[in-house]
Structure 1
Amino acid sequence: MPPTHVLVPLDGSPLADEALTHALDTFDCPVTVLNVVTPLDSSMSEGGIVGSDESRREAALERANELVAAAERRTAETDRTLETAVDRGDPAETILAYVDDHDVDHVVMGGHGGSRSELVSRLLGTVATKVVSEAPVTVTVVR
């Protein structure tokens, strides 16, 4: 059964861009792109290393908005409509919550290399690994 709503998490990486291309080329249904702004006090952000401040928060939000706007511009060249969202939190947890809260039935995302000590994380990346293992829907990882 083909999906009725596809989510593509965007992080600015080439693999995320490839995931969006794959979703738009493969599925004839609404596609939403989501950028997750990691809180600056999180260990996954630069705020875990240097002190956080309002200018860094604003810059992170501005970058997120630029990423989804770029996806909209790219999609405008096609006959497809793209929904966009920007949220804040842990990337994997936020993606999983978005799936639950917005009737998403398929996720297409880029994978990234992770820790060399774990094969799965190295092949998919830590965010992709968590989404694949915990999502209640089909997840396609673009490599």
Structure 2
Amino acid sequence: MSQGEVLVPLDGSPLADEALREALALFDAPVTVLNVVTPLDSGMSEGGVLQRDEQREAAAMERADSLVARASDRAASQGRTVETVVETGEPAETILAYVEANDVDHVVMGGHGGPDAGLAERLLGTVATKVVTESPTSVTVVR
């Protein structure tokens, strides 16, 4: 059966790594890994003008490039290739925008949840909860 793209959002967590393993094992379809770099808040300079911390921003982009490169290496070790994408934005919104703009048939992602969140957020994590509830396509959450 022909399948469209499988999207795997990566954040560097063990659950995201597991999501990539699951996607590669379960789907015989093109896999894209997406890392979303969250924009850094601007800080106030001595003159009161908002400035970005360029070193922190460069480090965040370097980390993102490293994450997707590692994912590409992991896929290659399994005889597969993955498309790699790095975007900047709010994670859930960026993932959903990518799904809408591309031929994504399935999202496979890690779920994170903490004890201070609501029930759904505790079970899935806030980004995963938003993607599950708003995605126009199927979503598998790896726990």
Question: How high is the TM-score relative to the length of structure 2?
Answer: 0.89
Identical aligned residues as a percent: 69
Write the distance in 1 (CA, Å) between the matches of 2:81 and 2:94.
23
Contact kept, 8 Å, 1:7 with 1:32, in 2: the verdict is yes
Q: What is residue 91 of structure 1 aligned with on the other side?
A: 91
Does structure 1 residue 71 correspond to structure 2 residue 43?
no
Write the distance in 1 (CA, Å) between the matches of 2:93 and 2:14.
22
Write the distance in 1 (CA, Å) between the matches of 2:4 and 2:20.
16
**CA shift in 2, pair 1:63/1:86, >3 Å:** same
Report deviation, 1:3: 3.6
Report deviation, 1:104: 0.6
Counterparts of residues 1-143 of structure 1 (less than 5 Å): 3-41=3-41, 52-114=52-114, 116-143=116-143
Q: Which contiguous aligned blocks of 4+ residues in structure 1 show a shift greater than 3 angstroms?
A: none
**CA shift in 2, pair 1:2/1:13, >3 Å:** farther
Q: Which is greater in Rg?
A: 2
**CA shift in 2, pair 1:116/1:74, >3 Å:** same
Write the distance in 1 (CA, Å) between the matches of 2:35 and 2:25.
20
Residue aligned with 1:140, SS:
strand
Q: What is residue 47 of structure 2 aligned with on the other side?
A: none
Write the distance in 1 (CA, Å) between the matches of 2:52 and 2:126.
24
Question: How high is the TM-score relative to the length of structure 1?
Answer: 0.89
**CA shift in 2, pair 1:53/1:17, >3 Å:** same
Higher strand share: 2
Report deviation, 1:103: 1.0
Residue aligned with 1:85, SS:
strand
Write the distance in 2 (CA, Å) between the matches of 1:126 and 1:105.
22
For structure 2, the 5+ residue unaligned runs are: 43-50
Residue aligned with 2:4, SS:
coil
Alpha-carbon displacement from aligned partner over 1:85-116 (angstroms, at most 9, x marks no partner):
00000000000000011111100000001462
Report deviation, 1:79: 1.9
**CA shift in 2, pair 1:87/1:122, >3 Å:** same
CA RMSD of aligned residues (A): 1.6
Amino acid at match of 1:106: H
| Of 91-100 and 76-85, the range deviating more from structure 2 | 76-85
